[in-house]
Amino acid sequence: MTDRELIEMAAKAAGVEGEWEDHPQINGRDASGIYIEGHTFLWNPLASNDDALKLLVTCGVDLDCGPDYISAYVWDFAENRSIVKDITEQFGGDKLAAYRRAITRAAAAIGGAR
């Protein structure tokens, strides 16, 4: 799955509506994302800590942090089971990027199920 597909499925889960815009990288970071009417910045939880945090809260993503990894899951309390599981990202060189990707992958799994 491409990053664009991942972001678009996460947006679906979070109720984010807008049009995709492709832009070249700025300062080594992806500048592409979803344009939301009236917003200054493109919505991209893979590049923005703020967008990832809002996605985490909106979709009810829980995190489990290990020494060199982050795992994300979403729990269905009504049925007492995990809706999204087995999403793990290794920290590598950028711990925040691993957090953003795990959160986005969990939300995308919800969006893909809708």
Give tens-digit pLDDT for 37-60. Answer: 888 888 999 999 999 999 999 999
61-102: pLDDT as tens digits:
999 999 999 999 887 767 777 777 779 999 988 999 999 999
Record the pTM: 0.87
- Domain borders along the chain are 3-113
Query: How would residue 19 be classed by pLDDT, with cut points 50, 70 and 90?
Result: very high
Amino acid identity of 13?
A
